[in-house]
Amino acid sequence: MTTINFFITRFPPKAEVRGSNPLGCANLFNGLPQNVPSEISDRSHCGHKETAIMASIRRRNGKYQVQIRVGSYSRSQSFHKLNDAKSWARKEEELAEQRRYLGSKYEPFNLAEILVRYLRDVTPHKRSYDTERIVLNALLKEDWVNSSLPQLNVGDITEYRDRRLASVKPATLKRQLNIVKHACATAEREWDWLSPLSQLQRVTLPKNAEHVVKRITANHEDALIEAAKKSRTKNLSKLLILAIETAMRRSELLALKWDDIDLEQRELLVRRSKNGKSRTIPLTARAHTILASMGSDCGESVFPLSANAVRLAFERCRRYAGIGHLRFHDLRHEAISRLFEKGLTTPEVALLSGHKTVSQLFRYAHTDVERVSRKLRNCS
């Protein structure tokens, strides 16, 4: 295996070089570089370190494999001809030269460099890690994400938007692009990096189609539970029953540990809800029976399932039960609506559901004229 290495050091403006002449593009393919600069003055660019471009060409299995490494980012490509490999490497080197320090901000090679660091440093600490990891890994395969930052424009992003809308719902696309926006905002705010956040903000996103929530009838509930009992996903029917009985979110149910459940006191603890706070939920007789029947000998988690596995299993059960459009989250909506029907006050329901503000619960209170009239008659 033959290897050709070359090393280029880019110096920001006003860099004071002491030693031999810095390397240029013409030196790239003449073997190992000669006269590598030995020292850079500390006052050359406000204390920033120079960005090294390291590239290599290897002959492997009859092909020439080129790898360009810029800082922590690397990119590779294989070619049948050496000239093609050199040409691609020169082009990539020219694009790398466009990366620069502007003031105190670092300009990454491309959006992919931002997403890779975000995936490594930020995503693992989020509750949505599994979903976000899948989204980011898919985005990293997109050409516009791998384009050099100076070449990325709004048209590239809008083309991606239009293409994605042909296969996913507007809400799905918005969630995915919001991850990218947050990554860029994090890069600017916390890493002092430049990012294409302004281009992303200029892209118009479609409005979400309004989801009309329908009440789940007793017949539909029975059909859904029966379908879940036939599912290969373990304890899926019990998961659905608990969702209806406790008004817990899917993420909260999947994060539930046996240590969080006190069957003697007939309550469970949600350690961290969507608003970042914990809450205690009293168990109904039905919920208590379900949990008591499961036992805690199956591991630490009550439901050792992934969010995606539950989503797919729920969709299969919904179709098998012959129920129209229904989301897992609609089970929470139904549970909260039933709490109101049992006579609980809005603050009491908020305590159980984990909503921050009372106004968020108004859409769940299906108040009708007949019920109000009945209450007024009882008070007179």
Cβ atoms of 69 and 11 closer than 8 Å: no
The encoded tokens of residue 253 equal 């149910």
Identify whether the C-beta of residue 56 lies closer than 8 Å to the C-beta of residue 70: no
Mean pLDDT (whole number) for 264-281? 85
Of 304, 298, 292, 297, nearest to 261 (Cα)? 292
Residue 33: per-residue pLDDT? 32
b or e along 233-248 (b: 16 or more beta carbons within 10 Å of the residue's beta carbon)?
A: bebbbbbbbbbbbbbb
Q: DSSP 3-state assignment of 326?
A: coil
Report domain extents, the chain. Answer: 3-101, 111-201, 218-377
Mean pLDDT, all residues of the chain: 77
Q: What are the tokens at 360?
A: 């968020």
Q: Please spell the DSSP secondary structure of 71-88, one letter per residue.
A: TTEEEEEEESSHHHHHHH
- CATH fold of 218-377 reads hpI Integrase; Chain A (1.10.443)
- Two tokens at 92? 């990539």
Task: For 58-106, write each residue's pLDDT tens digit.
Answer: 888 888 888 877 655 566 778 888 888 888 888 777 766 655 444 456 7
Q: How high is the pLDDT of residue 40?
A: 25
Count each helix (H run) and each strand (E run) in the chain, helices first. Answer: 15, 11
- The pLDDT tens digits of the residues spanning 97-150 come to 655 444 456 778 789 999 999 999 999 988 788 889 999 999 999 999 998 888
Q: How confident is the model at residue 31 (pLDDT cuts 50, 70, 90)?
A: very low
Residue 46 CA to residue 379 CA, distance in Å, equals 76
- HSE on the CB side for 298, CA within 13 Å? 14
Q: Are 71 and 114 in contact (CB under 8 A)?
A: no
pTM of the model: 0.54
